[in-house]
Amino acid sequence: MAGRLITGGVVRPITRWGAPVLHRPQQPVVDYDDRLRALVADMTATMYAAEGVGLAACQIGVDLSVFVFDCPDEAGVRHQGVVCNPVLRVSTGKDRTLDDGEEGCLSLPGAFVTCARPTYAIVEGYDAGGTPVTWEGDGLLARCLQHETDHCHGTVFGDRLSTRARKRLFKEAAQSSPDFPETWPA
């Protein structure tokens, strides 16, 4: 199951910023069963319908520490997978290099601002069958792994922004809101 997304799910509406489930640490996955696989299939369908590169369970209102992703690295190599109970590692000290790229969130659709993130990330956890997995990468993949792990830990990327950048983000989201009804992308 490692490296594969589960397909055949149902597209669900994406939970918006401000919903309590997005702002608290998620419950750990303890049962690697058909219910989890069905959830992962729905998350995958929703991520693709929203044209995202990653989606955490809390983004469809489910309080569970799991995310899916389908994202290229710096070289353009596509990586896709499922991570339950993610643990993130990034470089620190003199080995740490930051990328000031733009970032957005499907829970605040249509808005993007720069957000400094380490250029390389490693995430360890389990796939939907309970097998240990490790994902690592650079570029957009590193940003995605960090962003989705943050969701599992109750952090939205706006928490990492300055007050000015956060205001700009919410202003851009408000301008885009007519394009993203509450049922989007379902």
Specify the length of the chain in residues.
186
Residues acting as catalytic residues: 148
Give the global pTM. 0.95
Task: Give the pLDDT score at 91.
Answer: 82
Q: How far apart are CA 89 and CA 36, in angstroms?
A: 25
**C-alpha distances in Å from residue 102, one per residue of 25, 28, 124, 139:** 24, 29, 25, 12
pLDDT in tens, 63-80: 999 999 999 999 999 999
Do the beta carbons of residue 143 and residue 131 sit within 8 Å?
Answer: no
Tell me: the pLDDT tens digits for 45-69?
999 999 999 999 999 999 999 999 9
Q: Is the dihedral of CA 57, 58, 60, 62 positive or negative?
A: positive
Class of domain 20-179: alpha beta
Question: Would you state the structure tokens that stand for residue 166, as one six-digit string?
Answer: 């956060």
The pLDDT value recorded for residue 77 is 97
Handedness of CA 1, 90, 111, 160 (dihedral sign): positive
Q: Identify whether the C-beta of residue 50 lies closer than 8 Å to the C-beta of residue 184.
A: yes
When pLDDT is cut at 50, 70 and 90, the band that residue 1 belongs to is very low
Domain ranges (residues) in the chain: 20-179
